[in-house]
Amino acid sequence: MRTAKQETFIEQYCLHGNAAKAATTAGYSHPKQRGHELKNQFETQIEERTKKMIMDCVPGALTQLKTLSEGAESESVRLGAVKDILDRAGLNRPRRSKQKFPMWRLHLLMN
Same-domain pairing of 1 and 37: yes
Which amino acid would we find at residue 77? V
Q: What is the pLDDT of residue 91?
A: 83
Same-domain pairing of 4 and 31: yes
Same-domain pairing of 34 and 4: yes
Asked if the structure places residue 110 within a domain, the reply is: no
* Domain residue limits at 35: 1-41
Q: How many CA atoms lie within 13 A of 65 on its CB side?
A: 17
Instruction: Give pLDDT tens digits along the chain (111 positions).
Output: 899 999 999 999 999 999 999 999 999 999 999 999 999 999 999 999 999 999 999 899 999 999 999 999 999 999 999 999 888 888 876 666 665 656 555 555 555
Same-domain pairing of 37 and 59: no
Q: What is the pLDDT of residue 17?
A: 95
Asked if the structure places residue 30 within a domain, the reply is: yes
Q: State pTM to two decimals.
A: 0.67
Q: What is the pLDDT of residue 90?
A: 82
State how many domains the chain has: 2
CA distance 39 to 44: 9
CA angle, 45 then 48 then 51, to 5°: 145
Same-domain pairing of 33 and 55: no
Q: What is the pLDDT of residue 106?
A: 56
Asked if the structure places residue 97 within a domain, the reply is: no
Same-domain pairing of 56 and 32: no
